[in-house]
Structure 1
Amino acid sequence: MQYLVNVFIFSSIGPTYESMQNVFERQSFRPAVNLSNPTITNISFTLYAVLGVVRFLVNFSFNGDCRIVYWQHEFLVWDPDECDGVTRISLPVKQLWSPDIIVYDVDDDVSQACPYVYVNHTGHIRWDRMLRLVSSCNLEIFSFPFDVQNCTFTFGSYMVSPALTFKEMSGNSKRYLEASGEWELVDILGETSILQFGIDEWDIITFWVVIKRRPVLYVVNLLIPSSFLMLIDILSFYLPPHSVDRASFKMTLILGYTVFLLIMNDLLPSTANGTPIIGIYFSVCLALMVISLLETVIITNVLHHSSMKYQEVPNWVRVVILKHIANLICYRWPEDAQLHPSVPQKDKHENTNTALPELQQICQYLGDLHAHLNSLQKENELQEQWCHVGYVLDYLLFRIYLLLISCYALVIICMWCVWISHS
């Protein structure tokens, strides 16, 4: 053993590949002069990039890069002053003993092999191993697109400890992580524990990578267009229902919103364990549009009620709608509005038996014309009264619709804020 420690001391040109053959031949043994002294492996975790997220079923795949490992090789020690000032060399990792490190909680390890390690003159070895891990994490999509995800990476070995504090690892990762992309690193947390397999004990280091989604893309492509369509639906109530086919406009708007839902379906995460609140938001918005269309159908039916047998406005409708509800919603009546039924006037052209036949015929014609004019006047009055009933109901339902949308928007905003604060 002493010969191996002093291999490089007697070299005048520095450590060479030939002078380390005795060390290479003993790569199967742990490099400790005294086997009772443990060889501790130090792990440094640095996240360089979130390469992609593949959404499917319950989980999503998380790709990231990290670098590890440090340990002490007691046989590779030399004096730089006697070796031409050489303080660090690189050696093939296959020629040296390397610690057994198992990475848990990953579906696939597609890491690129790093064939060399850096050896310091004190015997400290640094292995810059770039890991590209595909990890399955539970997808919490309730608050999408303002969601925060937590992925776990677990490293295990016989004797392992973190090379840096978890706060320093998190700071290094935030400094190196790419600013572009959908995901943003929030923090890297960790803890050390001991896992026992029978009489064997393994040291475990668990890293929690907390990342959050950048919601700008989804806000611009989903929330803002949906809000615009809802705004147009609200403004459509200002169309005069008696002269414009408001129902056709609303049906066209619902058709456009349905096409929008089909397009945005590809942007939502497809999972089986839950529904994002934004999906509920879109469904309720569609339901509100259908309710708006139903309201328009009711108002249209009321406005055209007078054309069916010229029915009178019932007295209870006058009292409930034209009086109480109109006062409640502050409906302003036109100055020439006639809300009371007209009293039929007596016919002033009464025929007498003594009138001449020509005068009797003229009076009959005048009476028919007067009756026709009275019928038209009554029809216009009935139509005007039913129009006022429709307008009052339209004002009432429009305000109820605004109240529903305002309460719904407030609930959605509060739920998102509470979820973000707890995350």
Structure 2
Amino acid sequence: MTAIKPAVLIFICFMLFHGFVAALNCTSPTPDSLFNALEKELFPKKLVRPVERFSDPINITIGITLVGILGVDEKAQTVTTVLWQVLEWDIAGLSWDEKECGTTRVSVPRETLWVPDVHITEFMAEDNSPKTPYVYLYNTGHVYDDKPVRVVSSCRLEIYSFPFDIQNCSLTFGSYLHFATDIRMIHSRSSEEILAESRDVLETNGEWELADISIARSTLALEAGSYSEIKYFVILRRRPILYVVNLLIPSCFLITVDLFSFLLPPKSVDRSSFKMTLILGYTVFLLIMNDLLPATGETTPLISIFFSLTLALMVASLLETVFITNIQLSSSEYSAAPHWLSVLVLRYLAVVVCLPQQKKSNRITVFINSSTGEPAMNSSITNITASHLQSIYGDTTPVKPPPPGPPEPELDELRKLSRDLMAIRHQLNKYFQGTNTSQEWQMIGIVIDRLLFILYIVFIVASFFTITCIWIWNNSYAA
């Protein structure tokens, strides 16, 4: 029994210190000798993880470099990028002597080694990047796997602030099958180093630019087990100059022209035709530039709301111009304005738009009514009899009327002339009453025209302020 114990101890120590493969022995420092040793000791064991014990996890060090931003599809909610992906791991127990084998590093076919099944969780399409069939194998057992990857990944795109939007897309690297007890993901470099190198080698200079990259380690916990993952947050910023020049500036020009069209007098100029031409031009402009706007069913971009409000204001200004023109030409045929409309527009809105309230006329028509039997024709007319005239002139002595004499033709003619004057006065009163109604309607139209003009100015100023603030926020994003 005592003779067996040393042998058992020696065997146990040999098993503990003997790794996945033994140290390679090269017969000569030539490639043939090294590859023969690898084919004998390493390549047949590519089917299992290169660890000493099954309970030992293998550390996979990952590093990426962003070399291209090919495009962003807002409708499909995908981002297409090109990465350099570097995976590094160690084969337990593998080593060889540099002098004995003649080199410290050799490239071997990828199929001859165990390669971790690292994939991207957000992957949405097949990788059609060029294949690299070789990896580097060092004399310390370290494996270096570097390859390009074309990634079409899903990303939740927020386009509300288009074209001044910033997108935060994640790329999650982890094993597809192995749990965290088998494979642990470790990032090789800091986010600052990755960002600096990516900016140096970034080949594309299109619509999007790289704003920032951040790293976070995470664990995906499921019922069967947990998975070790490394998550990279790639922050992209859109270059808005193209959209500002092609969308915002022409739209601002058109709405400014429509704003100054309020200065055209509707009496002498056909303002409605001018506004109709502007609406037609703006509609054609939106149809031509529709391809530049992002298409997504989740969020409506703020720029689309701006275009809709601009078109709505143009249509409202056209309808208001039709109303004003109708008032200018046909207001004399209208009945009196409703009391509530007159109070709302002339008393309150006139103050808002800084228009002085129009004073009512105090004109009173005075005539002498020689016949007491004729009724008064208008409440605003004052009937003055002879006694009233007597009191006006200050004569207290009553004057007796002359005795009636025989009818004279001159007196009949005067009476006929008096009746004709009464008819003329009636027509004048109706004309002046219609003139007051027409002036009231015209004043209502002027107040509404001024109110829409002020709304136009407020809308333009608010839009300019909003666009400027969003643009400044977009450019001041800390990269």
Class of the TM-score when normalised by the shorter of the 2 chains: 0.7 to 0.9
User: 1:129–1:400: structure 2 CA closer, same or farther, 3 Å change rule?
Assistant: same
Instruction: Write the distance in 2 (CA, Å) between the matches of 1:341 and 1:315.
Output: 20
Indicate whether 1:283 and 2:300 are aligned: no
Looking at structure 1, the residues matched to 87 and 159 of structure 2 have their Cα atoms a distance apart, in angstroms, of 35
Is 1:94 paired with 2:94? no
Query: Deviation per CA, 1:287-340, whole angstroms, max 9, x where unpaired?
Result: 11111112211221222136759x9999999999999988986779xxxxxx97
The Cα of 1:265 is off from its aligned counterpart by 2.2
- Return closer, same or farther for 1:131/1:329 CA change in 2, 3 Å cut-off: closer
Residue of structure 1 in register with 2:377 after alignment: none
Q: Does 1:405 align with 2:405?
A: no
Structure 1 residues 162 and 307: alpha-carbon distance in aligned structure 2, compared to 1, 3 A threshold: same
Are 1:130 and 2:148 an aligned pair?
yes
* 8 Å Cα contact 1:141/1:276 also seen in 2: yes
CA, structure 1 residues 48+398, in 2 after alignment: closer, same or farther (shift >3 Å)?
Answer: same
* Corresponding residue number in structure 1 for 2:372: none
Q: Would the alpha carbon gap of residues 94 and 386 (structure 1) be closer, same or farther in structure 2, given more than 3 Å must change?
A: same
Looking at structure 1, the residues matched to 189 and 28 of structure 2 have their Cα atoms a distance apart, in angstroms, of 35
Report the counterpart of residue 24 of structure 1 in structure 2: 43
Residue equivalent to 1:168: 193
Give unmatched runs, 5+ long, in structure 1: 333-338, 347-352, 355-373
- 1:70-125 deviation per Cα after TM superposition (whole angstroms, max 9, x unaligned): 111345533333444x3322111101121222321211231432211012232221
Aligned to 1:396: 450
Matches within 5 A, 1:147-162: 147-157=165-175, 158-162=183-187
Q: Which consecutive unaligned segments of at least 5 residues does structure 2 have?
A: 1-17, 176-182, 368-408, 411-427
Instruction: Note if contact 1:194-1:204 (Cα within 8 Å) is conserved in structure 2.
Output: yes
State the Cα deviation string for residues 120-169 of structure 1 (Å, max 9, x = none): 23222111121112111112111111111122221223222111123322
Residues 1:119 and 2:137 aligned together: yes
**Residue of structure 2 equivalent to 1:216:** 241
Kindly tell me: are residues 172 and 324 of structure 1, through their superposed partners in 2, closer, same or farther at Cα, counting changes over 3 Å? closer
Give the C-alpha shift of residue 42 in structure 1: 0.4
In 2: Cα distance, 1:324 partner to 1:144 partner: 39
Select 1:193's aligned residue among 200, 218, 243.
218
Alignment of 1:23-422 (within 5 A): 23-32=42-51, 38-56=57-75, 59-74=77-92, 76-84=94-102, 86-110=103-127, 111-157=129-175, 158-178=183-203, 180-197=205-222, 200-305=225-330, 308=333, 389=443, 392-393=446-447, 396-406=450-460, 408-409=462-463, 412-413=466-467, 416=470
Q: Deviations over 1:386-409 (max 9, x none)?
A: 897488447623543334424642
Conserved 8 A contact 1:159-1:203: yes
Q: Counterpart of 1:357?
A: none
Query: Which amino acid in the other structure matches residue 401 of structure 1?
Result: L
CA distance in 2, matches of 1:256, 1:4: 80
TM-score (norm 2): 0.68
Closer, same or farther in 2 for the Cα pair 1:306/1:342, shift >3 Å? farther
Question: Structure 1 residues 97 and 313, CA, compared in 2 at 3 Å: closer, same or farther?
Answer: closer
Distance in 1 (alpha carbons) for counterparts of 2:47 and 2:351: 94
CA RMSD of aligned residues (A): 4.4
| CA 198–327 in structure 1, closer or farther in 2 if over 3 Å, else same | closer
Instruction: For 2:455, give the aligned amino acid.
Output: Y
Partner residue, 2:380: none
Deviation of 1:182 (Å):
1.1
The 1-side partners of 2:471 and 2:363 are apart by: 59
Asked if 2 retains the 8 angstrom alpha-carbon contact of 1:322 and 1:388, the reply is no
SS at match of 1:112: coil
- For 1:179 and 1:90, locate their aligned partners in 2 and report how far apart those are by CA, in whole Å: 31
Q: How many pairs does the alignment contain?
A: 395
Tell me the TM-score normalised to structure 1 length: 0.76
Give the drift of 1:32: 3.9
1:326 and 1:392 in contact (8 A); partners too = no
Greater Rg over alpha carbons, structure = 2
SS in 2 for 1:130: strand
Query: Quick check: 234-243 or 411-420, which moved more?
Result: 411-420
Aligned-residue sequence identity (percent) comes to: 40
CA positional deviation for 1:247? 0.2
